[in-house]
Amino acid sequence: MEEDVAFGPENLGVPPKEIRRRVDEALHIVDMYEYRRHATHKLSGGQKQRVAIAGILAMQPECVVFDEPTSMLDPRGRSEVLNTILRLNREQNITIVLITHNMDEAVLADRVVVMDAGRPVLEGTPNQVFSQVEQMHALRLDVPQATDLIHHLRRDHQLDLPQDILNEDECAHALARLLDEAGIGRNENHGDS
């Protein structure tokens, strides 16, 4: 597997000692150093993706474009790859461009650009973009499930809920607050046993 990671720097003419340092560093960054002597074909899908990412990191890019990096991965592999991508951005300060149809992945971004027929049609923070549920649906795109649920509750039942909910935790907190404000679900002791 180390050879796979070293391939890019070798082709860039990086000196061997520097390649060794970069390979080790890249494998540490993607949490695959302990597997460095394993055959790549014996790794899981998520591990293979992380080795591929290490190969990119060994070339020391300032920006990496990922095109559907979690497709065909099981939930564990998807989580491993997404966590690696997020760490690259936050800890290694590498600009990440993530192309995805998975809206639960898109909400993790700092900025979202929705494309239609090769042109940007929506752009902004995840909260700004995904709060436009009707427009997303008109573009034949999903929104996160929590966002969709809140949208339906707001539209169909006129409930006073924030429209920029992106995940289950935010949804649960908003619903709990609404129930609390309505006096429903309080754990009051009325002296009954």
**pLDDT tens digits along 31-63:** 999 998 889 889 998 899 999 999 999 999 999
Task: Assess whether pLDDT exceeds 50 at residue 117.
Answer: yes
Q: pLDDT value at position 187?
A: 58
Q: pLDDT value at position 65?
A: 95
Residue with tokens 């009954």: 192
Tell me how far CA of residue 23 lies from CA of 2, 81, 129, 187, in angstroms.
7, 18, 38, 57
Task: Assess whether pLDDT exceeds 80 at residue 185.
Answer: no
Burial level of 120, CB count in 10 A (0-12/13-18/19+)?
exposed
Q: Bigger pLDDT: 193 or 94?
A: 94
Tell me how far CA of residue 180 lies from CA of 54, 174, 177, 183, 184, in angstroms.
48, 10, 5, 5, 6
**Which one-letter amino acid corresponds to residue 64?**
V
Q: In the structure, what pLDDT confidence band is assigned to residue 193 with cuts at 50, 70 and 90? A: very low
Residue with tokens 């990922």: 66
Q: What is the rounded average pLDDT of the residues 76-90?
A: 91
Task: Assess whether pLDDT exceeds 90 at residue 188.
Answer: no
The average confidence (pLDDT) of the chain is: 90
Q: What is the rounded average pLDDT of the residues 93-100?
A: 94
Residue-wise pLDDT tens digits, 130-143: 999 999 999 999 99
Q: pLDDT value at position 186?
A: 58
98: tokens are 């993530």
- Nearest-CA neighbor of 136 among 101, 105, 110, 174? 101
Task: Assess whether pLDDT exceeds 60 at residue 192.
Answer: no
**What is the Cα–Cα distance from 5 to 35, expressed in whole angstroms?**
12
